Structure formats: structure tokens, C-alpha cells
């Protein structure tokens, strides 16, 4: 499983971490990166498609590979000087965002179409149906998958540093990839923990919402930068 990244202006005090969705093209973040002010740096991560696969344990291993890579990069930057970190994430990337924010200090986090439970969203979503069929053929059900993926699921976090981050959450009533029900449950977790957040509802489906937020990132960048 390959991890790539592009980065710019890492000498700045403020760094935005960009985390894409599953198999998202790099150009999806081109507009966002152009709109980031010059006094902010950024790191744009890209993970290969096999990060989600029909082997639950391998998927979990790949997730930890990405998480540990991001944490390692933050640690290296902080050795040179302490920074302020922000995260902008979409779809699957929101899972990494929640985990990272609970492990290190992140000032603000944008979650575009997040889910509360990785296994539940995976099981009920449209885009992952073929992987689900293979899992079922291999004797894996939803309860088993929830157990295997508990260490990498958003609802296992919001317990440590993530309680102090601020969040901007975008959900979609027409989402069939990350079901709207799961997106609403994530917001309930924020409310239950008295975490500061703002929210926005999209009336487009999953991919169109991501495209629109990528092309017109003003509301999310305003939140991160103010």
C-alpha cells in the first residue's frame, strides 16, 4: 500500500493537512491548495485504493500505516519548531482526521461527509458493495467487521485531544456512499461530548458534494483560517 504526499511552505507556523477520500484523484485538491494563504503551509496525502479491501485485518494494518505516517511527519515538524495544525478531510479521509485529532493537538478540523462507524458506513454504502460481497463469501458479517475495525473507527475516538478541537461538518441528506444516518450519528457524538462544531447540509449526493466543496472551498477555508 503506497502513500504519497505533496507539500509546500513547511517552514510556516500554520500547517493544513489535506486528507482525501477513497481513490480520490489528486486534482480534487488543486483549487483548495491554490486558495490556501501564503502564510500557511500544507501537506496533501494520497493513499492507494487498496487501503480499503476485502481483508479486514489488512485494511486495519493499512490504516495504521497511514495514521503513523502522518503522526511521524507532525513529530518531525515539531522538532524544528512547534506549529499550529489544521485538517481538511473528505469522505474516507475524515476517519483519519478524527483519529489524528485525538492523538495530537489539531486546532480545527473540516469533515466533509464523515461517518460515525467505519464498518457500518462501509457495510451500508454503495461504493463498497463488491468488497462487502467478498467479505460475506469469506464468512465475515457486520458484527465481526465492527469488532475488527473498532481500533480505526471514529466512534472509538473523541476521548483525548479531539475533545478540544473545533469541527466543521458537512453532511448530505442524499448521500448513499456514507449513509446520511451515519453522518448524523457523528454529529450526535460531537454534541454528546460538548465539542465545538459548525455544520452544513448538502442537498447533493456524495461525489457531487465533494466536487462542489473542492471547487468552492470558501466556507471551509474561512472556518479554518479565521
Residue 164's pLDDT band (boundaries 50, 70, 90)?
Answer: very high
Rama region for 165: left / alpha / beta (φ>0; ψ in -120 to 50; rest): beta
- Has residue 209 got a pLDDT over 90? yes
Which pLDDT band holds residue 1 (cuts at 50, 70, 90)?
confident
Mean pLDDT to the nearest integer, 42-62 = 97
- Across 188-194, average pLDDT: 97
Q: Provide mean pLDDT across the span 140-154.
A: 98
Mean pLDDT of the chain: 96
CA distance 19 to 89: 5
Distance of CA 72 to the CA centre of its chain: 17
Measured CA to CA, the distance from residue 118 to residue 91 in angstroms comes to: 11
Confidence (pLDDT) at 145? 98
Q: Domain range for residue 66?
A: 3-225
| Phi, psi dihedral angles at 8 (to 5 degrees) | -155, 145
How many domains are there within the chain? 1
Q: What is the CATH number of the domain that holds 29?
A: 3.40.50.1820
Amino acid at each position: 500500500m503506497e502513500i504519497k504526499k505533496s507539500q509546500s511552505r513547511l517552514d510556516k507556523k500554520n500547517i493544513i493537512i489535506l486528507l482525501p477520500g477513497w481513490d480520490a484523484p489528486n486534482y480534487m485538491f488543486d483549487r483548495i491548495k491554490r486558495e490556501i494563504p501564503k502564510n500557511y503551509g500544507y501537506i496533501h496525502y494520497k493513499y492507494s485504493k487498496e487501503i480499503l479491501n476485502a481483508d479486514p485485518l489488512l485494511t486495519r494494518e493499512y490504516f495504521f500505516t497511514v495514521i503513523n505516517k502522518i503522526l511521524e511527519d507532525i513529530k518531525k515538524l515539531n522538532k524544528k519548531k512547534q506549529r499550529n495544525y489544521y485538517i481538511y478531510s473528505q469522505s474516507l479521509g475524515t476517519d483519519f482526521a478524527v483519529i489524528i485529532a485525538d492523538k495530537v493537538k489539531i486546532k480545527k478540523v473540516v469533515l466533509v461527509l464523515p461517518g460515525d462507524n467505519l464498518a457500518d458506513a462501509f457495510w451500508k454504502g454503495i461504493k463498497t458493495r463488491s468488497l462487502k460481497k467478498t467479505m460475506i463469501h469469506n464468512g465475515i458479517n457486520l458484527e465481526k467487521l465492527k469488532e475488527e475495525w473498532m481500533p480505526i473507527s471514529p466512534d472509538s475516538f473523541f476521548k483525548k485531544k479531539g475533545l478540544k478541537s473545533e469541527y466543521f461538518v458537512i453532511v448530505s441528506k442524499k448521500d448513499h456512499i456514507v449513509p446520511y444516518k451515519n453522518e448524523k450519528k457523528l454529529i450526535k457524538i460531537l454534541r454528546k461530548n460538548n465539542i465545538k462544531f459548525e455544520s452544513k447540509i448538502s442537498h447533493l449526493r456524495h461525489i457531487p458534494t465533494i466536487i462542489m466543496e473542492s471547487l468552492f472551498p470558501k466556507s471551509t477555508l474561512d472556518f479554518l483560517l479565521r
